[in-house]
Structure 1
Amino acid sequence: MTIGTTIHSFSTCPSTNDLAKRLAREGSAEGTVVIADEQTEGRGTKGRSWHSPRGQGLYASVILRPRRADLSLLPLMAGVACLEAIREATGLEVALEWPNDIVWKHRKLGGILCEGEFLGNAVSFAVLGVGLNIGQKREDFPAALRRTATSLRLALGREVDRAALEKSLWPVLNRWYAAWVRGRKDEIVRTYESKLVIPAGAVVEVRKAGGTLRGVYRGLDLRARLKIEVDEEQMILSPAEILAIDYNYGAS
C-alpha cells in the first residue's frame, strides 16, 4: 500500500471525508486519496465547521484499512507527518496543539479529522482528513476567525504551491502510517510531544462538561490521552472528554 497512488480530485465537494467514506464502502483500496479545491461543508472535530474556500487550501482525505481497532494515535501520526511535509516543502517550522490542530505562533494553520467505521468490534476502514490553510490573506478569513487562524502565505510572506506540498505530504504520511501499523507507538507519541505548544510541566486549565480542572501537564499516554497532575494525583483525559485547554499559565 502506498498513500497517493490513486487520487480522486474534485473542483468542489461538500466534504472530502464524506466522499472518502463513500468510496471506502464501495471497496476503494487503502491509500486512496480524495482531494478538493473547495469544500462547501468542511468540518473539524466535535462537529465544528472548517472554512474551505476555493483554491486557498489543501483539503484531502485518505482511506486507511487498519487491522487494529484502536485508532487513537492516527491523528497524532498525521500531525507529525504534516509538520514534516510543511518543513520539507516550505522550510517553515510549525507546531502541534493537542489533539488535532497544526499551529503557527498560536494561530490555527490546519487540522486533522480521523473517522472510523466499524463492523462489530473490528474496524472496516478509517478516513484521515487533513485541512491546511495555504493561500489566504487576512481578509480572506471570516471576521470570526481572523484573530485565531493563519495560512502558510501569511506565515511565510509569499505564495505557496499546493502541488509541492502534496508531493511532500503523501510519502511522509505513508512512512509514518507504516510506523503506526508496525506498532511504534512510543516513537509516534514522543515525536508528537516534542512538537507540542504545551511545554512539559506547564500549568493548564482543562474545561470539561462537568467543570474546569487546573493541574500540571505531564505528557501523553500511548492512547493519545492527556496526563494531568491535580493535587498530586494523576488524571488521564481523552480528547472526547475535553472542551478546551488553556495553557498560558507558566510552568511548574
Structure 2
Amino acid sequence: MAGVKIRVLEILKKNSNDFVSGQRISDELGITRTAIWKNIKSLKDNGYTILSLTNKGYKLVDCPDTLTYEEINEDLKTKFIGRKIVHFDSIESTNIEAKKLAEQGEKEGTIVVAEEQTLGKARMGEKWYSPRGEGIWMSIILKPKISPEFAAEVTNATVEAVGKALIKIEPSVEIKKPNDIFVNDKKMCGILTEIDGELNLLNYVIVGIGINVNQEQFPESMKLKYTSLRICKNKVFLRKKLLCDILNNIEPMYEDLLMKIRKPSHRGS
C-alpha cells in the first residue's frame, strides 16, 4: 500500500466508531480533498468497506481478511519477522519471489505472501494447491549466519512454531517432522525450506509455509490426502489472525535456536 493510503487507513481505524470528516483528514495529512477521495476509493477497491456521507465524512465499517502488514501490525509482537510484508494478489510461487529478493539483499524477516499461488512448491518437486483467499501461502527470508548443517533445525523450529498456533484451534494437530502438519492423517500444512550458502556459512534460508485454512473441499485427487481448518472445525477462520499468531511464535523460537547453535557446546557436539 502506498504511504498516504496507509495513513488514511490508520486515521479511519483509530476512529472506527465515528465518521471522520474530509477536512480533518486533510488537516492531519496535508493533502487535498480530491486526494482523500482517490485514496478512499482505492481502499474500497482493496476490499475495505467505508461509508461516505455528505457533511459527515468517512467511516470504516469492515476490513478485509487480507494478509497485509496493515491488517496484522496491531497484534504483531515481533522485532523483525513480518515487519515488512511483500503482498501479491497472485503469484507463481512465494519461494521463488523470496529467493529473488534475498539475492537482491532484502533484509532478514521480510515475508512474501500471496492470496493465490499458481505454481506453489512442495517437497519432491510436487505442486502445492494454493487457491485464492483460502489459505496462508508465504515465504520468510532468514539470514541466520550459521553452517548449512544446521538448516534442518530451522525447519524444525518453524514447524513447531506453526504447530503451536494450529493446536490452539485444533487439538488433534500432529506434527510430522521434518516439515508437515497433519490432522486425522490428512495434511493441513507443509513447509519447504530452501537454502543458499558457502561451504561453512548460509547466505540465506527461505522458509516456505503453506497452510490450508478455509477450503471447503479439494480436487478429487487430493480429498483423501489433504484437509483444512474449515473442514475440521466447520467454520471460517480469519487468516490474518492466524498469520499474526504464527509470526509471533516463529521469531522467539528462531532466536532461541540461534543461541543454542552458537553455544560452544552445541558447535562441538
Say yes or no: does 1:107 pair with 2:186.
yes
Q: Give the conservation status (yes or no) of the 8 Å contact 2:191–2:209.
A: yes
Deviations along 1:8-55, one digit per CA (max 9) or x if unpaired, are 111010100110110111111100011000001001111111001111
Gaps spanning 5+ residues in structure 2: where? 1-78, 263-268
User: Per-residue CA shift, 1:83-103, capped at 9, x if unaligned?
Assistant: 112234x35441111221111
Query: Structure 1 residue 135 and structure 2 residue 214: aligned?
Result: yes
Pair 1:92–1:12, CA change in 2 (3 A) = farther
- Cα-to-partner distance string for 1:90-147 (whole Å, 9 max, x where unaligned): 3544111122111111100010000001134421111001000001112xx1111101
Counting matched residue pairs gives: 183
Q: Which residue of 1 aligns with 2:42?
A: none
Shift of 1:157: 1.1
Q: Which has the larger radius of gyration?
A: 2
Question: Per the alignment, in what secondary structure is the counterpart of residue 183 of structure 1?
Answer: helix
Q: TM-score, normalised by structure 2?
A: 0.65
Q: Give the counterpart of 2:116 among 29, 33, 38.
A: 38
Partner AA of 2:100 in structure 1:
R
Alpha-carbon distance in 1 for matches of 2:246, 2:92: 23
Deviation (angstroms), 1:2: 1.8
Q: Give the conservation status (yes or no) of the 8 Å contact 2:182–2:188.
A: yes
Match of 1:26 among 94, 99, 104: 104
Match of 1:52 in 2: 130
Moved over 6 A (4+): none
Q: Tell me if 1:75 matches 2:152.
A: no
Quick one: which of 182, 185, 188 aligns to 2:259? 182
1:171 alignment partner, SS class: helix
* C-alpha contact (below 8 Å) 1:56/1:136 kept by paired residues: yes
Amino acid in the other structure paired with 2:203: S
Does 2:244 correspond to 1:167? yes
For structure 1, the residue ranges without an aligned partner over 5 or more in a row are 186-222, 224-252
Amino acid at match of 2:136: L
TM-score, normalised to structure 1's length? Answer: 0.69
- Secondary structure of 1:182's partner? helix
Query: 2:80 aligns to what SS in structure 1?
Result: coil
Aligned mates of 2:224, 2:130 — CA distance in 1: 17
The offset of 1:162, in angstroms, is 0.1
Task: Show the counterpart of 1:8.
Answer: 86
Contact 1:86 1:93 survives alignment (8 Å) = no
Higher helix share: 2
| CA–CA separation in structure 2 for the residues paired with 1:91 and 1:52 | 21
Normalized per residue, which structure has more strand? 1
After TM superposition, the structure 1 = structure 2 runs for residues 146-157 of structure 1, keeping only pairs within 5 Å, are: 146-157=223-234
Q: Which amino acid aligns with 1:174?
A: E
Identity in percent: 32
Quickly say closer, same or farther: Cα 1:93–1:63, change in 2 above 3 A.
Answer: same
Distance in 1 of aligned mates of 2:258 and 2:199: 21
Which runs of structure 2 are paired with 1:84-123 in the superposition (5 Å)?
84-88=164-168, 90=169, 92-123=171-202
Tell me the SS of whatever aligns to 2:152.
coil
Give 1:184 deviation, angstroms.
6.2
Distance (whole Å) between structure 2 residues aligned to residue 28 and residue 102 of structure 1: 29
Q: Distance in 2 between matches of 1:167 and 1:31?
A: 13
